[in-house]
Structure 1
């Protein structure tokens, strides 16, 4: 096992973790999948072209290539669903070969079935198609073996970031995983300290799999934290219903069993779709709204000469801190960086320009930059300041599930906002109404819903509770 370096430990303690210390492998994997898709398409054509040359005496023989083109869409459809392109396929070349061959056989059978019923079998040469399938199978198997060698050399054979957190539980010698002690990082799963949660969020950043080994009495708290962090998490434990386990993972080589307690709210394809949506919408909005943004910036500067932007630390994905941008709407000497006092009607801190941009939600537009940076999303739970309270209680003291809203990136707008839950949080109900909407959004995410929320947001930009 690999212990996390002292450099990372010191960085976490000083809240300055560089994401490069634990690099994300997701982009590498995505590039590898795309390479596999493109190479498979090329090898399919080469295999059938060779078959045409061998049997028909003609390279790229039309009838043989027609069979390849008919089979390719079926092959890719099956391959995408039978894990031909998966994390395990990158690390286990025999598994990758087996899945690719299964996809070839099923797609060949399917095309033959369709050709039989459409009476188009005569359009294909059985011998050249059979040779094409054999050549393609050999080429795909060879490519998988080469791919595994390249990954072993370039990536050190590591296709997933794995982290084991030892919190006083049984030993878990997980090969290839980084290993940390909860005590070294002062991690207390029962704490509501946002700085501890930020520290944990930094440690879990870019981790594909997190395993926690802890005493029985701390398992439920760790299960809650892993769910809130939005990571794939396991706890070394005998099955326990109270943890809300979503599966059991047996490690036969370690003689250990873990409970899968969290998987993250969105899969890879969903995250890609959501990020593409964010970049396209935010990029278009920044261009379209640039005249308005410049005009507002000039107006704020001319009013009192203070800074244009107000930068405030907020809670983001994985309960990590990030700096959120807003147009400054309050007097420079009255700024509330911790958000300890909610804005109210006739608030003496708000400038004349500030009152207008708050009523029309224009003050939130600089968060488009946060979206492009990747700190925020177009749609998601709204980020709150550390000092935010309702009925003089911190939000997490009102409902512990508050931390679970941070398993997704915070949004410029969200389901709670379009339902009218915005403005000051004077009563506990003001927080619980928002929290219920946020958790409902996370549980039922879809791209269609994001588009609907964006369209509905246009109707509530000006709101009675916006002041």
Structure 2
């Protein structure tokens, strides 16, 4: 689709194929797109089944590939070659083509799944009837058939093979685990794909099977992001921080001098907060309070016209500039640009600590804390005077964790610009 878009843009612009800019850019975009799409899982079956997720993933990959290509062109001082109407046409055609393609793939996969339903045969002992499921096409009681898992009777093997010949899935259910293993071994040697029914594991909802040396283990939980997604998010954070550094470093230097000049004490305030997987980290901010009245643990949340806040501190808090040093936390990998905001350990709502108010509070630390987040762009800022204040924030944080995507991060960053100055920021 990328190559077709490049050729179409070339022909439309009445250029000679091979000498126009679109094919040149396509040579860089194509491999970069494939790497980004692989990292984001754009072509994994679960993603392809959903048109929305599939389109978001492929367009995010295209955006990442385009950004990398233009950065590379800028680094080699050939950026002017690609800044043309033909390039915009090429990118537009690629985006439209990928969208149409992924919509078609999602529709085709759904249609195929609707038309084909796996035939399941449940094979077991006298207890097999009680385990019968709605999707089971046939149930075979080996006791009633007088079958035994041995390879000494060709008639038995023939009857067994005919009984399960049309099955897409063969599921074994026996009270005795040793007998179940014997049947599994026999069916495996006969060339059948076999599964073991384990109702006792239903509560754990196993995700995958792995091995510790030669011993099998069940994966019963994973983090919210795969390794590839974490790597993509980390690369995105570092890229933006480094691009912003030429502007942010001088700004931080100026504000550091102003904070020191405004009131006695250090320019930065370092506070222990809860980070990824509930590990502590030192969160850095500009000091906005008088040193003698600083609340290190965060037991007393700020309020309007708080006497502890310095003159410059009011301005820094109102404009959210006091959070600027946390870009260093992002650079160190302790925080992300987007994620659940880290809270002070002593923060409370209606006299109760946050985790006492919301039982699921600890779940919000499954991802790195962020400079901004879904809760912040929805206006959930300022002191938590009521229990509903922290409940709304935690709900937004968990929603972000469960629905993360590169597009969501970009959307939150852009919308954060609108809430940097907030009436509840004091």
TM-score scaled by length of structure 1: 0.48
Rounded to whole Å, the distance in 1 between the matches of 2:233 and 2:249 is 24
Structure ranking higher on relative contact order (CA contacts 8 Å, 6+ apart): 1
Rounded to whole Å, the distance in 2 between the matches of 1:349 and 1:395 is 23
Q: For 1:208-227, what aligned pairs fall within 5 Å after superposition?
A: none
Check conservation: 1:238, 1:257, Cα contact below 8 A: no
1:239 and 2:200 aligned: yes
Rounded to whole Å, the distance in 2 between the matches of 1:316 and 1:370 is 11
Check conservation: 2:264, 2:291, Cα contact below 8 A: no
Q: Quickly say closer, same or farther: Cα 1:301–1:267, change in 2 above 3 A.
A: same
Bigger radius of gyration: 2
Q: Quickly say closer, same or farther: Cα 1:256–1:291, change in 2 above 3 A.
A: closer
Q: CA RMSD in A?
A: 2.7
1:465 and 2:424 aligned: yes
Aligned mate of 2:381, from 408, 414, 422:
422
Instruction: Tell me the number of residue pairs that the alignment of Structure 1 and Structure 2 aligns.
Output: 237
Check conservation: 1:286, 1:368, Cα contact below 8 A: no
Aligned mate of 1:387, from 346, 358, 361:
346
Aligned twin of 2:221:
262
Aligned twin of 2:294:
335
Aligned mate of 1:373, from 289, 314, 332:
332
Aligned twin of 1:325:
284
Shift of 1:346: 0.7
Rounded to whole Å, the distance in 2 between the matches of 1:419 and 1:246 is 35
Aligned twin of 1:286:
245
SS at match of 1:464: coil
Rounded to whole Å, the distance in 1 between the matches of 2:423 and 2:365 is 27
Rounded to whole Å, the distance in 2 between the matches of 1:386 and 1:362 is 22
Rounded to whole Å, the distance in 1 between the matches of 2:419 and 2:394 is 19
Shift of 1:285: 2.3
Q: Can you give the 5+ residue segments of structure 1 that lack an aligned partner in the other structure?
A: 1-72, 84-236
Aligned twin of 1:448:
407
Check conservation: 1:249, 1:257, Cα contact below 8 A: yes
Q: Can you give the 5+ residue segments of structure 2 that lack an aligned partner in the other structure?
A: 1-30, 42-197
Shift of 1:347: 0.5
Check conservation: 2:319, 2:420, Cα contact below 8 A: yes
TM-score scaled by length of structure 2: 0.52
Rounded to whole Å, the distance in 2 between the matches of 1:318 and 1:309 is 26
Shift of 1:284: 2.2
Shift of 1:288: 1.1
Rounded to whole Å, the distance in 1 between the matches of 2:256 and 2:213 is 61
Check conservation: 2:207, 2:221, Cα contact below 8 A: no
SS at match of 1:378: strand
SS at match of 1:307: coil
Shift of 1:240: 4.4
Aligned twin of 2:307:
348
Map Cα deviations across residues 97-139 of structure 1 (whole Å, 9 max, x no partner). Answer: xxxxxxxxxxxxxxxxxxxxxxxxxxxxxxxxxxxxxxxxxxx
Rounded to whole Å, the distance in 1 between the matches of 2:220 and 2:292 is 47
